[in-house]
């Protein structure tokens, strides 16, 4: 593991977000600019994942959620979907030891059980091996879509109401939150999207209700510890009012 200093130029602001989520966009454009196949962009994107997860830990971020595969990404060509799955396998196999050593808890949001059985087993094993860690949480969104997550939560609550276990008229926001894949994670403070696109793309729609949104032009493979530090510094300048004055 690299022992090089993680931060170089930007001082860490005292106001560190507890939970940061990142829409890692721009791998394809990064590759295209270099006349490389799209998968080369995704490979470089995995390197950025390593840099940024290490940097987030060093900066004291409690939870980092990464949008690795959306429920809409199945629409991509089969070979690209296969390559993304391959990279996920490789990442878990090669980085699990570091996550265990660094006391990181790995969690997954999304319907990852639709993936190939060996990948599901790999993910389950990685979560089990880190479940008793007490440090920062790395959340990977796999086959995740916010609307599907809310539909599933609604169905579970509706079934419990129909069974007479709960009173439908008394359902609260907390009850809904407890049914989401993100239950028990710290509240979401900051959503970052790379590559200049400015949308949430079905990512953490409920959880982002009061999160700060930051759109950076950097393509994901070029995202560094400094890009994260700059984002966190920008977060520190925001005034969060949660609807108040
Ligand atoms: C968006 O870029 C990126 C993705 C759909 C995949 C993100 C996946 C990784 C970075 C690798 C696997 C992740 C882990 C956690 C090991 P794009 O392809 O849509 O870029 P474009 O908009 O420039 O085409």
* Under 8 Å between Cβ of 188 and 21: yes
- Assigned domain for 116 exists: yes
The SS3 call for residue 245 is coil
Distance in Å, CA 198 to ligand 1 centroid:
16
For residue 62, give the CATH number of its domain. Answer: 3.40.1180.10
- Assigned domain for 229 exists: yes
pTM of the model as a whole: 0.93
- Assigned domain for 6 exists: no
The SS3 call for residue 182 is coil
- Assigned domain for 164 exists: no
Q: Which portions of the chain are predicted below pLDDT 50?
A: 1-13
Identify the pLDDT of residue 14: 54
Identify the pLDDT of residue 74: 98
- Assigned domain for 119 exists: yes
Does the annotation list 220 as a binding residue? no
Is residue 217 annotated as a catalytic residue, yes or no? no
- Candidate of 29, 30, 33, 42 to mutate for ligand 1, largest count of ligand atoms within 8 Å of Cβ: 42
Identify the pLDDT of residue 243: 86
Domain count, the chain: 1
- Assigned domain for 170 exists: no
Q: Is the CB of 42 under 6 A from ligand 1?
A: yes
Choose, from 25, 95, 181, 189, the residue flagged as catalytic: 25
Where do runs of H (alpha helix) occur along 7-62? 27-33, 38-59
pLDDT digits over 97-106, tens only? 999 999 999 9
The boundaries of the domain holding residue 231 are 19-147+187-236
Look up residue 9 and give its DSSP letter: S
- What strand order describes the sheet that includes 190-193? 105-109, 137-144, 63-70, 19-23, 190-193, 212-215
- Assigned domain for 2 exists: no
Question: 126, 125, 128, 136: which is closest to 102 by C-alpha?
Answer: 136
């Amino acid at each position: 593991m690299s022992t090089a200093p993680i931060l170089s130029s930007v001082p860490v602001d005292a106001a560190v977000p507890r939970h940061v989520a990142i829409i890692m966009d721009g791998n394809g454009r990064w590759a295209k600019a270099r006349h490389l196949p799209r998968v080369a962009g995704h490979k470089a994107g995995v390197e950025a994942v390593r840099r940024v997860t290490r940097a987030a830990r060093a900066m004291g971020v409690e939870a980092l959620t990464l949008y690795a595969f959306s429920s809409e990404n199945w629409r991509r060509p089969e070979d690209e979907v296969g390559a993304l799955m391959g990279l996920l396998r490789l990442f878990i196999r090669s980085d699990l030891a570091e996550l265990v050593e660094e006391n990181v808890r790995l969690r997954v949001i999304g319907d990852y059980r639709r993936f190939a059985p060996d990948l599901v087993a790999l993910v389950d094993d990685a979560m089990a091996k880190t479940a008793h860690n007490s440090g920062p949480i790395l959340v990977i969104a796999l086959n995740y879509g916010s609307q599907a997550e809310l539909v599933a939560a609604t169905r579970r609550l509706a079934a419990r109401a129909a069974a007479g276990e709960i009173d439908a008229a008394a359902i609260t926001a907390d009850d809904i939150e407890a049914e989401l894949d993100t239950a028990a994670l710290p509240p979401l403070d900051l959503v970052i999207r790379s590559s200049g696109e400015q949308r949430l793309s079905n990512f953490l729609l409920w959880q982002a209700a009061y999160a700060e949104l930051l759109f950076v032009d950097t393509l994901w493979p070029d995202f560094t510890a400094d890009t994260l530090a700059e984002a966190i510094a920008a977060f520190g300048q925001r005034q969060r009012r949660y609807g108040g004055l």
